[in-house]
Structure 1
């Protein structure tokens, strides 16, 4: 099973006292990178929130927005300094009359918006029931986000399978082409050296040894076997119980190394065409593997 790091989850809670909402958006990141927006009364709870989120979402760039509103309208969520407001209003009104301006509505708005007239109440919440409900809402949103990630992971899983199959098909074509490549090399060597060997004295045994050494340098049998093994291992990790994006990234690097070696050692146009297709599919895998948990 693989899970994407891209996700979205939302959860809401409401009772007779308050309304709570938690919204989570996630993107890929090497570690858990939490960006938290919450009401002032919960500003000291970030460490606890991080623990709640990491238990469910593991890693990724996480944007969490918490909204909390009380249904109790008997108290304002702000503090109004009435004496300071009256001072501002009187001063502005006097200044307006001196220059012939008597728009009291504008003066009222200016006095209300003056510094320190209206301030937010920043007292911490001391109600444990409030925080418990907020925690439950956060966890529910995280689980919904995790479900979204699993669905995205299923989509990526099928894409990876298609990419792997194309690479496997290319590998099969290379295996079929390999005997033909060897014959082309032998034919080319024979033609190039036939006249020269007839005109010059040459140790045939030594020449055969040199040919064997040359063919060993061009042999791609080991690379083909290793590439097939890496593809099988990639599939095995995709089917594992837990998502292992970093391991998939490492395996894809090894796959790329074998594909590149096959292309350089083969030095054959027919095989190179298959190598290009395989490399293109591998780049798609590498790009998407960065988004796997």
Structure 2
């Protein structure tokens, strides 16, 4: 089964007073790479998150954003009585000086800077919250894997369609190849007879046969056809396997392109050259797609 290296998955888990949001985005990369952003106080979970994501992604660059929020409790806040008393004393002095009635409520004092402070980081407990984070990351990774598998199925269809095009064009090349030698024999005989006619010299069949034999040897593409067909069979087998074989497929496509180039350079025939163009076009489409296969 083919897996795309491009995908997206997200999840949200709320449990007790902890809220976890996870977003995963993956793009193609020759190796596995995790770029993780996580809420302050939870850096100790990075290795565990990476191990978890690796279960679902073997190749590709994954950008992970893990946001963990704990609902505040009374213990998370600190009332600074020294600051509060200072504000109160200054307000009393101001009211006495301006002969104003003292109408300031305690709620107004609590909203002033420095009176109430939140204990940053005191609420974060990585080990205690790991089960919630694990659940959220797992859900996001499963959704990422589903999307990568869906794109992989679409790519497999395109691979099979292009492979069918190559097979068809290769059949045309194979049928045309014997005619190339025969056409060369005819053209060579006619050309020699025309050149030697004024000298009343007769072309020896053995000379023609020898020259045609050399041409046939130089332009023989039977081995390249066999190898290219073998690569297509291997390719079809790999895309049906349970695991994704991006690197193996990439190698086979490189070999297909090389065989197609050799066929084109050895054939010495315009019709075969046209078929080779179609083959190389299909191989090039496959080469672009395989860059995104895990």
How high is the TM-score relative to the length of structure 1?
0.81
Aligned equivalents of 1:78, 1:213: Cα separation in 2: 96
Match of 1:162 in 2: 161
The gaps in structure 2 that reach 5 residues or longer are: 91-111
Aligned equivalents of 1:124, 1:183: Cα separation in 2: 86
How far does residue 16 in structure 1 lie from its aligned partner after superposition? 2.3
Alignment of 1:215-234 (within 5 A): 215-234=216-235
Q: Secondary structure at the match of 1:21?
A: strand
Match of 1:12 in 2: 12
Deviates more, 1:226-235 or 1:132-141: 132-141
Cα 1:126/1:16, change in 2 over 3 Å: closer
The gaps in structure 1 that reach 5 residues or longer are: 91-110, 113-117
Cα 1:147/1:79, change in 2 over 3 Å: farther
How far does residue 4 in structure 1 lie from its aligned partner after superposition? 0.3
Aligned equivalents of 1:187, 1:52: Cα separation in 2: 69
Match of 1:271 in 2: 272
Give the number of the structure whose alpha-carbon radius of gyration is greater.
2
Q: Secondary structure at the match of 2:29?
A: coil
Cα 1:290/1:14, change in 2 over 3 Å: same
Q: Secondary structure at the match of 1:22?
A: strand
Match of 2:240 in 1: 239
How high is the TM-score relative to the length of structure 2?
0.81
Q: Deviations over 1:19-57 (max 9, x none)?
A: 111111100001111111111111132222211111221
Aligned equivalents of 1:4, 1:263: Cα separation in 2: 32
Aligned-residue RMSD, C-alpha: 2.9
Q: How many residues align?
A: 265
Aligned equivalents of 1:185, 1:164: Cα separation in 2: 31
Cα 1:123/1:264, change in 2 over 3 Å: farther
Cα 1:68/1:75, change in 2 over 3 Å: farther
Corresponding position: 1:248 with 2:253: no
Corresponding position: 1:136 with 2:135: yes
